[in-house]
Amino acid sequence: MLSKRSVAYVTAAVFALTALLGGCGGQSTPSEGGSGQGEEVSIVFWSAPNPTQEKLWTTMAEKYMAEHPEVKIEVAPIPESPSSEAGILTALTSGTKLTASENVFVGFGAQLVDSDQVVPLDTMPGYDELVKSRKMEELVEGWKFGDGHQYIFPLYVNAMLFSWRMDLLKELGYNEPPRTYSEMIEAGEKLQAKYPDKYLWARRELIDPSKWWERWFDFFALYYAASDGAPFLTNKEVTADRDSAVGVAAFIKEMNDKGLLLTAEATDPFETGLTLWGVQGPWVLPTWAERFPELKVGDQIVLTPPPVPDNFPAGKTPKTFADAKGVVIYKNASPEEQQAAWEFIKWVFSNPENDATWMEMTGLPPARGDLTSNAAFTSYFEANPALKAFADAVPTAVPPVMSEKFTDLQTQMTEEMMIPLINGTKTPEQAFEAVKAGWEAMLK
């Protein structure tokens, strides 16, 4: 995944390979027909480079081949050389047989789309029906590329939620977490009046330009909530909702200016009660259970969507950032192989029991809009109630910006927005304009 737990970040070597892909466009996309009409077809599917997902996809392939003996599926982990993205690009430029893979997020997907390496899945037979059956109509909108096509079928969605120390809030007289920026500032001031050494939020990553990915978990989570999911970037043009972006910057600056934001290094500040508030993905749940068993979700900890501006409509569910990846089919495969891969992918995603197996094995919420209403997942959430809040947020979680330059773009955001806001050298308006100008210059 794209979280702190992930190691598959794109390096400079990945981008060096991009130039080689320009002339490597593959076969035309098949739009109808079967997987060889009875003739044997062989495909290669690369799973994420971890044993759990390799085992899962191998099991799925074995079941599918038992029902479709004319299809041979080889499952292997994506080679990390030096990252999974680089491994895929190397395969595409070297002629290695590769039909489809998982583990693709939209930033890397933009690189593959720009170099004409992936099949537009919305042109494949049964795509719309599959999306509808999974109640994904709203979810897939955030995965649509500038040309209007869908190249990545969402596999899992880790919606970012914000955690509250409800035990501390109750000490301050709250029965539920604050919802808006001004309510949060008020809660932070009450906290420091009672506990001068505590903070509303600890976020050392705000001033670390080497951790470009952290902008997903602070700025973009807050921005997507404030803007109702408005795209920050569209077709190499910054299309951000200015008021929302400036509002997020102003909120961060106000927390800092009032001494409510800790940007110094701190170990487990939320879990130890140093802070009232934190940002979380579902991968934190096993860590809490193992290292902080005294903290129970629903008791000492409450999970909520991101906070919103004061004028955000009451009763409306805020959107958030999605740490998410999906499945693609590569154009260097023959039309018959592409079709066979799509039929396999469609078979896997058509059965909610496969999603239940995925969740049981990985602990990651599958990309479905009905996770908390579909009976296939009831028993899982009964056994894992803490994950339900993350599952509820899946339909409204927005994936990263679609640009192959995501590393440079988000590094610039740290340097031109976050650090100046914390240092007091730019206003929120100046910080946003600097990011907008910088992004547009890099994307020319």
pLDDT digits (tens, 9 = 90+) for 247-300: 999 999 999 999 999 999 999 999 999 999 999 999 999 999 999 999 999 999
Query: What mean pLDDT do residues 369-398 have?
Result: 94
E-state strands within 216-329: 233-234, 237-238, 261-262, 275-280, 301-304, 320-329
Residue 327 pairs in a beta bridge with 153
Please identify which residue in the block is written with the tokens 């995501």.
Answer: 406
| pLDDT score of 34 more than 60 | no
Report how far apart, in Å, the C-alpha atoms of 218 and of each of 15, 86, 106, 395, 440 are: 26, 27, 19, 19, 22
| pLDDT score of 6 more than 80 | no
| pLDDT score of 13 more than 60 | no
Confidence of residue 39 (pLDDT cuts 50, 70, 90): confident
Report how far apart, in Å, the C-alpha atoms of 282 and of each of 144, 186, 353, 380, 390 are: 25, 28, 21, 15, 7
| pLDDT score of 16 more than 90 | no
Residue 202 pairs in a beta bridge with 262
| pLDDT score of 117 more than 90 | yes
Model pLDDT, residue 142 = 87
E strand or H helix at 187, and its extent? helix 181-194
pTM here? 0.85
Confidence of residue 69 (pLDDT cuts 50, 70, 90): very high
The CATH fold of domain 12-158+323-398:
D-Maltodextrin-Binding Protein; domain 2 (3.40.190)
Model pLDDT, residue 7 = 33
Instruction: List, for residues 134-145, the tens digit of each pLDDT value.
Output: 999 989 988 999
Model pLDDT, residue 236 = 87
How far is Cα 91 from Cα 100, in angstroms, rounded to an integer? 12
**8 A C-beta contact, residue 27 and residue 33:** no
Give SS3 for 106: helix
Confidence of residue 38 (pLDDT cuts 50, 70, 90): low
Tell me the one-letter amino acid at 212.
Answer: W
| pLDDT score of 187 more than 90 | yes
Model pLDDT, residue 2 = 40
Model pLDDT, residue 197 = 98
Query: What mean pLDDT do residues 336-348 have?
Result: 98
Model pLDDT, residue 25 = 41
**CATH fold match for the domains 12-158+323-398 and 161-320+403-442:** yes
Domain ranges for the chain, please list them.
12-158+323-398, 161-320+403-442
Average pLDDT over all residues of the chain: 91
Query: What mean pLDDT do residues 173-192 have?
Result: 98
Lowest average pLDDT, out of 34-48, 292-306, 362-376, 383-397, goes to: 34-48
Confidence of residue 125 (pLDDT cuts 50, 70, 90): very high
Q: How many helices (H) and strands (E) does the chain have?
A: 18, 13
Would you tell me which CATH number, out of the four given (3.40.190.10, 3.40.50.2300, 3.40.50.800, 3.40.1440.10), belongs to the domain 161-320+403-442?
3.40.190.10
Query: What mean pLDDT do residues 149-158 have?
Result: 96
**8 A C-beta contact, residue 199 and residue 269:** yes
Tokens of 5: 């737990």
Angle at 309 between CA 244 and CA 438, to 5 degrees: 20
Checking phi first, is residue 76 left (phi over 0); if not, alpha (psi -120 to 50) or beta? beta
Confidence of residue 81 (pLDDT cuts 50, 70, 90): confident
| pLDDT score of 22 more than 50 | no
How far is Cα 42 from Cα 304, in angstroms, rounded to an integer? 46
